[in-house]
């Protein structure tokens, strides 16, 4: 097994990473992956955290730090793709989970914690007067779409080309379509992701991101059949591209005119502001899907909405509800207890802290690119940061594909950078994303920047 000294840097951060260099086929992680491929197709259950030649297996974590099964310490700059807004094992969240596990872990009765968490969320999100909990963001989105259909009596949903909203058929459409299939720019084709039925995809309309007039024209063509338009206010696959106010306002106007519902998928983007992305945009949707951070690190999702929408479809006091919604683990007390503490800790000060760190990281990465004289672009907003190894302007999914075609070496650079960072004690998402938590410090951001500069220099 290769032996490396602890990370050398000018910052006060010293990491215990003395016994491994990645990739190392003799490591415990490599051995675990060898076992995994025999029992899990592709060796895992979650392709978003897989990378070649094998993923590093985590053993334990605390705050911003994670130790892998070989004892290597790294700083976690991805935070379970947004859900760990307070880092790992926050003592108050751990205490709440332990107390709940010892009291009531799951039960076929509602609990007070469900009401508590619902009160906290409805108290701070303009578009959520009523909320129902699920166990994943995928389910939160799925129920928001079903709610829009039950409320309007219509079938069609419009979504943004290139946006990911989880695994439900209605939105697993045109997530990463190839140019050969994507159709005309003013009438994008609905391209099912593998596994999505063509019938389901035919109920999904595709819109270009932030293209106000082009998207307006498409919505108007389908207005009478449209149940809802779903927008992720910060599209990760476009480098955490925020929706413009003009675009969100146009969607609001056109949904109102069409009698359709505006749905915000804030599963990821909820961390944008204290009142969610909708608070920052100043546009209030009829329905909001939530997930990730509202569960305090445990599995969660939710569908929230304006009272007249939610009561019209879910309330059994008015006769049989229009929409049935069950789930063995919905609003399970463990998640509710963890989420309640996480949300209470996620106050205005916490939101401002991670946004400030996000600015420090974005500005620092731009500086690093200049110093290293390397191609790249830095994007994102608040605590979500993207770092890609090509230059150019990306507004829509098609721009991103064109840019990639023009820079064929970009993926190899991205992979090399990711591996350099992994070997310098930095965990990021392999395709160029960082997500911060309240556990991060200025010193850790500066450490990341030093490692990024050194990686780019080594890459040449
Ligand atoms: C915007 C968005 N919506 C929905 C989902 C699905 O959430 P989950 O992975 O909890 O099912 C994700 C997951 O990353 C997401 O980023």
* Mean pLDDT within 87-115: 97
| Same-domain status, 429 and 352 | yes
In a domain, 7, yes or no: no
Residue 395 in this model has a pLDDT that exceeds 50: yes
Which of left, alpha, beta for 158 (phi over 0: left; psi -120 to 50: alpha)?
Answer: beta
Assign 440 a pLDDT band (cuts: 50, 70, 90). Answer: very high
Residue ending a domain, among 297, 321, 345, is: 345
CATH of the domain at 375: 3.90.1150.10
Q: What is the pLDDT of residue 1?
A: 39
| Same-domain status, 314 and 365 | no
Q: Is the C-beta atom of 288 inside 6 A of ligand 1?
A: no
- Mean residue pLDDT across the chain: 95
In a domain, 84, yes or no: no
In a domain, 23, yes or no: no
Residue 6 in this model has a pLDDT that exceeds 60: no
pLDDT tens, 7-59?
A: 455 678 989 876 679 999 999 999 999 999 999 999 999 988 889 999 999 99
What gap in Å lies between CA 52 and CA 42, rounded to an integer? 11
Q: What is the pLDDT of residue 105?
A: 96
pLDDT tens, 356-377?
A: 999 999 999 999 999 999 999 9
Is 240 a known active-site residue? no
Domain count for the chain: 2
What gap in Å lies between CA 17 and CA 20, rounded to an integer? 7
pLDDT tens, 153-191?
A: 999 999 999 999 999 999 999 999 999 999 999 999 999
In a domain, 251, yes or no: yes
In a domain, 138, yes or no: yes
| Same-domain status, 297 and 420 | no
* Mean pLDDT within 344-366: 98
CB burial readout 254-274, b (16+ within 10 A) else e: bbeebebbbbbbbbbbbbbbb
Q: Which of 48, 138, 170 has the most ligand 1 atoms within 8 A of CB, as the residue to mutate?
A: 138
In a domain, 290, yes or no: yes
| Same-domain status, 117 and 168 | yes
Q: What is the pLDDT of residue 11?
A: 72
| Same-domain status, 69 and 95 | no
Q: What is the pLDDT of residue 3?
A: 39
In a domain, 324, yes or no: yes
| Same-domain status, 141 and 198 | yes
Q: Transcribe 319-369 into DSSP letters.
A: SS-SS----TTTT-HHHHHHHHHHHHHS-HHHHHHHHHHHHHHHHHHHHHH
Q: What is the pLDDT of residue 2?
A: 40
| Same-domain status, 364 and 318 | no
Q: Is the C-beta atom of 268 inside 6 A of ligand 1?
A: yes
| Same-domain status, 379 and 257 | no
Q: Which of 165, 278, 295, 303 has the most ligand 1 atoms within 8 A of CB, as the residue to mutate?
A: 165
Q: What is the pLDDT of residue 253?
A: 98
pLDDT tens, 232-244?
A: 999 999 999 999 9
CATH of the domain at 300: 3.40.640.10
pTM listed for this prediction? 0.96
Q: Which domain holds residue 452?
A: 28-76+348-459
Q: Is the C-beta atom of 374 inside 6 A of ligand 1?
A: no
Q: What is the pLDDT of residue 283?
A: 98
Which residue in 269, 351, 292 sits closest to 84, CA to CA?
A: 292
Assign 4 a pLDDT band (cuts: 50, 70, 90). Answer: very low
In a domain, 3, yes or no: no
| Same-domain status, 131 and 169 | yes
Assign 5 a pLDDT band (cuts: 50, 70, 90). Answer: very low
pLDDT tens, 251-265?
A: 999 999 999 999 999
């Amino acid at each position: 097994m290769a032996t490396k000294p602890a990370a050398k840097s000018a910052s006060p951060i010293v990491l215990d990473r003395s016994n491994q260099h990645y990739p190392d086929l003799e490591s415990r992680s490599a051995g675990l992956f060898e076992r995994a491929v025999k029992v899990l197709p592709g060796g895992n259950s979650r392709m978003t955290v897989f990378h070649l030649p094998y993923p590093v297996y985590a053993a334990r974590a605390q705050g911003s730090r994670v130790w892998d099964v070989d004892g290597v310490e790294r700083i976690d700059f991805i935070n379970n793709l947004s859900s760990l807004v307070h880092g790992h094992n926050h003592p108050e969240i751990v205490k709440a989970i332990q107390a709940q596990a010892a009291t009531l872990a799951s039960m076929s009765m509602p609990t007070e914690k469900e009401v508590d968490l619902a009160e906290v969320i409805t108290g701070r999100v303009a578009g959520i007067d009523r909320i129902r909990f699920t166990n994943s963001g995928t389910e939160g989105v799925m129920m928001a779409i079903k709610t829009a259909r039950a409320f309007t009596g219509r079938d069609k949903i419009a979504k943004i080309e290139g946006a990911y909203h989880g695994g439900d058929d209605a939105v697993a459409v045109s997530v990463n379509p190839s140019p050969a299939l994507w159709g005309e720019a003013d009438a994008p084709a609905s391209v099912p992701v593998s596994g999505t039925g063509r019938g389901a995809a035919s109920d999904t309309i595709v819109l270009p991101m932030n293209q106000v007039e082009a998207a307006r024209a498409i919505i108007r063509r389908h207005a009478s059949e449209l149940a809802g338009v779903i927008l992720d206010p910060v599209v990760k696959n476009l480098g955490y591209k925020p929706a413009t106010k003009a675009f969100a306002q146009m969607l609001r106007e056109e949904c109102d005119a069409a009698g359709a519902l505006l749905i915000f998928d804030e599963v990821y983007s909820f961390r944008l502001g204290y009142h969610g992305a909708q608070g920052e945009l100043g546009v209030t949707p009829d329905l909001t899907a939530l997930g990730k951070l509202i569960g305090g690190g445990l599995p969660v999702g939710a569908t929230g909405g304006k009272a007249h929408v939610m009561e019209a479809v879910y309330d059994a006091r008015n006769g049989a509800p229009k929409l049935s919604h069950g789930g063995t683990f919905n609003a399970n007390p463990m998640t509710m207890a963890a989420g309640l503490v996480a949300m209470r800790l996620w106050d205005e000060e916490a939101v401002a802290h991670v946004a400030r760190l996000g600015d420090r990281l974005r500005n620092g990465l731009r500086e690093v690119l200049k110093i290293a004289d390397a191609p790249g672009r830095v994007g994102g907003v608040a605590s979500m940061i993207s770092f890609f190894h090509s230059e150019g302007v990306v507004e829509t999914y098609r721009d991103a594909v064109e840019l990639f075609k023009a820079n064929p070496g970009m993926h190899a650079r991205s992979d090399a950078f990711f591996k350099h960072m992994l070997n310098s004690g930095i965990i990021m998402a392999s395709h160029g994303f960082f997500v911060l938590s309240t556990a991060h410090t200025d010193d850790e951001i500066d450490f990341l920047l030093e490692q990024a500069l050194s990686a780019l220099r080594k890459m040449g």
